[in-house]
Amino acid sequence: GRAAMAARRGALIALEGVDRAGKSTQGRRLVEALREAGHPADLLRFPDRTTEIGQLISSYLGREKNLEDHTIHLLFSANRWEHVPMMKEKLQQGITVVVDRYAFSGVAFTSAKGNFGLDWCKQPDVGLPKPDLILFLQLNPEAAAERGNFGQERYETSSFQEKVLQCFYCLMEDKSLNWKTVDASKSIEDLHREIKSIAKETMQEVQNKPLGELWK
Ligand code: DGP
Ligand code: NA
Ligand code: NA
């Protein structure tokens, strides 16, 4: 009834995975499909390069600017935090929020640099809205390589990406989070159908659950 509809919150769904796994394509397709089915949904992409912090991050990634490793880690986290009030508002309004990368990329990319403890890496993102679902788009390095060469941005080397992947596997051991691994070697259409079906299940399940806080 009407009261139940009003209480229904949106789901927070994170897409993670190695570069070229298809996160951005699948994020766009998922949000379009949900909207077409009458479920309000919005896509957010991290890093969001449009904010002042995002512009710093973008010039770091483009190698125009060098930033100390702790500093850039904190900036990526700040770039997520600056969107939190808006994300919470949307979720409360019943809008499903799909994020293309989230805190897990944050931890995986910094900890892949070596000499950073996992706990230190997680700390700045502790308390972010906790995803109701983390879809991990799994693609082996050979298949990823076949999708085209890396660009010129920082982090875009196979050896670094392999380390990032190992860090993602560490994070997936945390069973307090709802990780679902999907096979990203499938066609765009097949993967879309699978992701849409998992997302819809999650959206049903969160109806009466409060939004959680990440790593708390
Ligand atoms: P994208 O726009 O999704 O291609 O991301 C740009 C690059 O930044 C990509 O190599 C992944 C990396 N990245 C995304 N989020 C974070 C983060 O929170 N911390 C770090 N260090 N790198 C990140
Ligand atoms: Na990239
Ligand atoms: Na992407």
Query: Which pLDDT score, from 0 to 100, does residue 212 have?
Result: 98
ipTM of predicted complex: 0.94
CA distances from 22 to 85, 107, 115 (A): 28, 20, 30
Nearest protein CA to atom 19 of ligand 1, as residue: 106
Those residues with Cβ within 8 angstroms of residue 129's Cβ, 6 or more apart along the chain or in another chain: 12, 84, 87, 88, 91, 211, 212, 213, 214
Residues β-bridged to residue 17: 137
Quick one: which atom of ligand 1 is closest to the CA of 72?
A: 21
2 vs 58: which has the higher pLDDT? 58
pLDDT band at 194 (very low <50, low <70, confident <90, very high): very high
Please give the angle made by the CA atoms of 115, 116 and 117, to the nearest 5 degrees: 120
The average pLDDT across 191-207 equals 96
What digits encode the pLDDT tens for the residues 67-103? 999 999 999 999 999 999 999 999 999 999 999 999 9
| Range of weakest confidence among 44-48, 58-62, 94-98, 152-156 | 152-156
Res 135 pLDDT > 90: yes
Res 142 pLDDT > 80: no
**Ion ligand 3 contact residues with beta carbon within 5 A:** 23-24
| Summary mean pLDDT of the chain | 94
Query: Which pLDDT score, from 0 to 100, does residue 149 have?
Result: 76
For residue 103, the CA-to-ligand 1 centroid distance in Å is 10
Nearest protein CA to atom 18 of ligand 1, as residue: 106
Question: If you count DSSP H runs as helices and E runs as strands, how many of each does the chain have, helices first?
Answer: 10, 5
Q: Is the CB of residue 133 less than 8 Å from the CB of residue 202?
A: yes
Residues β-bridged to residue 100: 15, 45
CA separation for the pair 210, 94 (Å, rounded):
12
Q: Is the CB of residue 144 less than 8 Å from the CB of residue 18?
A: yes
Res 200 pLDDT > 50: yes
